[in-house]
Amino acid sequence: MTKFSALVVIATQNRHKVREIRKILGRPSFAVRGLDDFGLAYKVRETGKTLAANALLKARAAAGRTGRLCLADDTGLEVDALHGAPGVYSARFAGPACSYEDNNRKLLRVLDGEKRRTARFRCVVAVVLPDGRERLFEGVCAGRILRERRGSQGFGFDPLFQPAGHKKSFAEMSLRQKNRISHRSRAFLKARKFLQGLYRRSPSLFAVSSEK
Give the residue numbers marked as catalytic.
74
Other Cβ atoms closer than 10 A to 146: 19
Distances 1 to 4, 98, 207, 212 between C-alpha atoms, Å: 10, 45, 20, 6
Q: Do residues 62 and 43 make contact, with C-beta atoms less than 8 angstroms apart? A: no
Residues 176 and 150 sit within 8 Å (Cβ to Cβ): no
Cα distances (Å, whole numbers) of residue 158 to 15, 122, 128, 145, 173: 16, 13, 28, 10, 9
- Contacts (Cβ under 8 Å, ≥6 apart) of 181: 141, 163, 166
Phi first, then psi: what are they for 90, rounded to 5°? -60, -45
Tallying the residues shown for the chain, one arrives at 212
Which contiguous run of DSSP H or E holds residue 175? helix 175-181
CA separation for the pair 74, 52 (Å, rounded): 7
Beta bridge partners, 33, equal 9
Q: Which residues, listed in sequence order, are joined to residue 86 by a DSSP beta bridge?
A: 78
